[in-house]
């Protein structure tokens, strides 16, 4: 039987990315599909904490199986910043251009530019809670390059590639990204789980 899962996100880019990765194994529903228009709180100080908080919020109000993710860009020379504060790094406006400008400014003149994207996914399934993680290593460029993707994609060069996520485009990004790795783990888990309960 096909499972229905709610993905607790308001970010349509993410919904599209994850739905491409999950394929037709899962019937993915958005917050809009379940009529949730609230701004789900994300007040924890870790990615895992925020992912759990979002998934619990939906599960306790709507009673559905669901998952939520949280992602951060962790830059070594900035002691892991912006990390869990990636969305609002340059202020409450959540403007990706301002966020990228702040990163580029902070790294000006620095040669140590390695960074990683890290995604934590929290799944609540049949009342139990599971966590998955995906990491991709790379470096921060000295200027923005490319138009695809979202967030910090124009300044992130994944290891082994000479184009940024925003230049590589969604198809390639969705094969190699932090979120793809975490979602793949979620997918593998769901396959085994579904077999066990059938």
Length of the chain: 198
Does the active-site annotation cover 70? yes
| Rounded least distance, CB 165 to ligand ITT, Å | 6
User: For 188, phi and psi rounded to 5 degrees?
Assistant: -60, -45
Q: How far is the CB of 94 from ligand ITT (least distance, A)?
A: 6
Q: Residue holding tokens 């975490």?
A: 182
Dihedral angle sign, alpha carbons of residues 181, 11, 91, 96? positive
* Binding stretches for ligand ITT (CB under 6 A): 9-11, 14, 42, 69-71, 86-87, 96, 99, 149-153, 165, 177, 179
CB 22 within 8 A of CB 187: yes
Let me know if 20 is exposed, middle or buried by CB neighbors in 10 A (0-12, 13-18, 19+): middle
> Which residue in 69, 70, 81, 153 is the catalytic one?
70
User: In this complex, which beta carbon is closest to ligand ITT, that of residue 136 or of residue 190?
Assistant: 136
Judged by CB, which is closer to ligand ITT: 65, or 74?
74
Cβ at position 197, least distance to ligand ITT in Å: 28
Q: Annotated catalytic sites, by residue?
A: 70
């Amino acid at each position: 039987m096909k499972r229905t899962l709610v993905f607790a996100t308001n970010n349509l880019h993410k919904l599209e990315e994850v739905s491409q990765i999950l394929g037709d194994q899962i019937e993915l529903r958005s917050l809009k599909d379940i009529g949730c228009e609230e701004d789900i709180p994300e007040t924890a100080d870790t990615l895992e904490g925020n992912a759990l908080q979002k998934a619990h919020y939906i599960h306790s109000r709507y009673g559905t199986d669901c998952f939520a993710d949280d992602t951060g860009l962790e830059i070594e020379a900035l002691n892991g910043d912006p990390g869990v504060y990636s969305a609002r790094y340059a202020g409450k406006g959540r403007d990706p251009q301002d966020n990228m400008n702040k990163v580029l400014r902070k790294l000006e003149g620095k040669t140590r530019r390695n960074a990683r994207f890290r995604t934590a996914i929290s799944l609540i399934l049949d009342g139990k809670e599971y966590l998955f993680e995906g990491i991709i290593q790379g470096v921060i460029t000295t200027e923005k390059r490319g138009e695809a993707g979202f967030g910090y994609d124009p300044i992130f060069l994944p290891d082994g590639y000479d184009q940024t996520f925003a230049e590589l485009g969604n198809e390639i990004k969705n094969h190699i990204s932090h979120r793809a790795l975490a979602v793949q783990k979620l997918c593998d888990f769901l396959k085994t789980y579904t077999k066990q309960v059938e």
